[in-house]
Amino acid sequence: MKNSIITSNPYNQKELKTYNYHTDNELKIILDNAQNTFENWKTKEIKERTNLLQNLANTLEDKKEIYAKLMTEEMGKPISQSIAEIEKCVWLCDFYITNAEDFLADSIIETDAKESFISYDPLGVVLAVMPWNYPFWQVMRFAVPSLTAGNVGLLKHASNVTSTALAIQDLFEEAGYPKGCFQTLLVNHDQIEDIIENDIVKAVTLTGSEPAGRSIAAVAGKNLKKTVLELGGNNACVVFDDANLDKHIDTMVKARMQNTGQSCIAAKRFIVSEKIYDQFLSRFKDEVSKLNSGNPEDSDTFIGVMAREDLAEELEQQVNKSTDLGAKIILGNKRNKAYYEPTIITDVTEDMPVFKEETFGPVAAVIKAKDNEQAIKLAANSIFGLGTMIFTENTDNIYNFIGDIPDGALFINDMVKSDPRLPFGGTKASGYGRELSKEGILEFVNKKTVYIKK
C-alpha cells in the first residue's frame, strides 16, 4: 500500500508535491481536536459564525488568483473557469451570511402546550468525502452551511488535489475559524472506514461516483450515521421541435463542455426532436468545433485537459464500445495522454455506453427522437436522476411534463446548475439528500421537538 500522495500537473505531467498520509496517532489527534472544538463552537451565536463567514468571503476574494492557479495546476481546469469557481464560493458565503439566521431560527408550532417549537441543533463532527472536478466549490458548499449551523468539518479530498485541500483548511483558519473547526485528512480509502466508524464522527457527506457512494453509505448505515450522497449523473438535454437555437445553442454547448466535460450535472445525452434534429446537429457541431483547446493556464482556453490520463482512457473506451455497436463519430475523438478532443457521437441507441453510463469528459451523445413525447421518455430512461434540461419556446406547456422527469432538478431553457438559493441533489443512482439553500443547511442538524407544558 502506498504511504504517500504525489500530485502532478495533468497538462505537462510535471510532479508537483509529495505528501505523507496521516498516521493512526495523527488521526486520533485530529479527531479529538474536532470533537473538542465542536463543544465550544456549537455554543457560538449564529451572528458570530456569520461574521467569520464574511471573513471567509473576503479572503476568497483577496486570494482568488492564487486559489485558481492551484486548482488549474492540480486538475487542469482552464484558469478562467477556476477564477469563476472561487467567485461562486464568495456568492455562497454571501447567501448564508444573509439567510443563515432565519434558516436556523426556532420554528414555532401552535399546540396545546405553553410553548412548542423545533430547535435546529448541530450534529457534531461531519466527514466530507469530496471529488477533484470542482475542488473548491464542492467542499465549500458542504462546509459553509454545515459550519454555520454549528458543526465542524473533516475533509477527505481527492488525492490529486491535495494542495487545494490543505489550502482550504488554511483558508478557514486565516478567516478566524478556530483550529479544529475544519481539518483536512490525508488518508487512503482503507482508513476511511475506520474514521466513519469512530464515535466522534456523527454524519458523512460524499460527492463522487455511484460505487463510492454505495461503499460509504454501507459503512455509515451499519453504524447508523446520517449521510448525504451526491453521485453521478447522466443528464439529458432535451431539444423540443420549437427550441430557439439562435438563443440557446451556446448554452447547450456550455452545458456539455464546461470544465472539460467533467461535471456530474453536465448535459451528456442530447435528445433532439426529429423536426429540428438536422438543424441542431449542424449548429451544435459548428459551435463545438470553435472551442479553443490549449494550456489551462491561458486565459482564452476553454477546453483544457482531463484531470488524469486514466480518466481520458476510460472515456475513450466508452466511446469505442459505442461505435462498435453502431454509433458514429462526426467530430473529434482524438486523445493525447490526458487531453481528449471535444467529441460528438450520433446514431446513439439505448444499449450503448454513451447512453447508459455517465461519460465524464467532453463527449456529447446525440439521440434522435420522433417527437417531443418520445424525447421525454428517453430522457427519463436512466438509472441516474440528477437533472434534466428542456429547451422549448412553449414554456406554458412544460408544466405537463414536470411529473414525467423523476430527477432532482428540471431546468427549462437553461443548463442544470447549482445555485446557493436552490436545493441541489438527485434521485435514484444519483444519490439522496440536498445541498445548498435552506434544505442544505438543515441536512446536518437535529430537528429537535421542544414541548413546554403549561
Beta-ladder partners of 26: none
Alpha helices, DSSP H, located in 76-115: 79-104
Picking from 378, 321, 389, the residue whose alpha carbon sits closest to that of residue 350 is: 378
**Confidence at residue 454, expressed as pLDDT on a 0 to 100 scale:** 85
Q: Does residue 1 carry a pLDDT above 80?
A: no
**pLDDT band at 42, cuts 50/70/90?**
very high
Q: How many CB atoms lie within 10 A of CB 106?
A: 12
Q: What is the percentage of the chain residues whose pLDDT exceeds 90?
A: 98
CA gap 238, 274 in Å, rounded: 12
**Confidence at residue 3, expressed as pLDDT on a 0 to 100 scale:** 84
| Average per-residue pLDDT for the chain | 97
pLDDT in tens, 229-251: 999 999 999 999 999 999 999 99
Across 344-368, average pLDDT: 98
**Confidence at residue 302, expressed as pLDDT on a 0 to 100 scale:** 98
C-alpha torsion 95→133→444→422, nearest 10: 40
CA gap 209, 194 in Å, rounded: 20
Q: Indicate the pTM of the whole model.
A: 0.97
What CATH number was assigned to the domain covering residues 4-231+430-452? 3.40.605.10
Beta-ladder partners of 119: 448
Query: Cell 505531467 identifies what position?
Result: 13
**pLDDT band at 427, cuts 50/70/90?**
very high
Across 322-334, average pLDDT: 98
Q: How many CB atoms lie within 10 A of CB 284?
A: 24
CA gap 91, 420 in Å, rounded: 8
Domains of the chain, by residue range, sit at 4-231+430-452, 235-419
Residues annotated as part of the active site = 230
**pLDDT band at 225, cuts 50/70/90?**
very high
Give Cα 217 to chain centroid, integer Å.
Answer: 18
Q: Does residue 31 carry a pLDDT above 70?
A: yes
Across 325-332, average pLDDT: 98
Long-range (24+ apart) CB contacts under 8 A made by 68-71 are 69/297, 70/163, 70/164, 70/167, 71/135, 71/136, 71/161, 71/164
Q: What is the percentage of the chain residues whose pLDDT exceeds 70?
A: 100
Long-range (24+ apart) CB contacts under 8 A made by 99-104 are 99/438, 100/46, 100/49, 100/50, 100/53, 100/145, 100/148, 100/149, 100/441, 101/46, 101/47, 101/50, 103/438, 103/441, 103/442, 104/46, 104/148, 104/149, 104/441, 104/445
pLDDT in tens, 293-304: 999 999 999 999
**Confidence at residue 213, expressed as pLDDT on a 0 to 100 scale:** 97
CA gap 307, 8 in Å, rounded: 10
pLDDT in tens, 361-384: 999 999 999 999 999 999 999 999
The domain made up of 235-419 has a fold known as: Aldehyde Dehydrogenase; Chain A, domain 2 (3.40.309)
pLDDT in tens, 128-159: 999 999 999 999 999 999 999 999 999 999 99
Handedness of CA 200, 203, 205, 210 (dihedral sign): positive
Picking from 175, 176, 125, the residue whose alpha carbon sits closest to that of residue 147 is: 125
Beta-ladder partners of 5: 19
CA gap 403, 254 in Å, rounded: 26
**Phi then psi for 421, rounded to 5 degrees?**
-80, -15
The answer to whether 4-231+430-452 and 235-419 have equal CATH topology is no
Q: Does residue 2 carry a pLDDT above 80?
A: no
Across 326-349, average pLDDT: 98
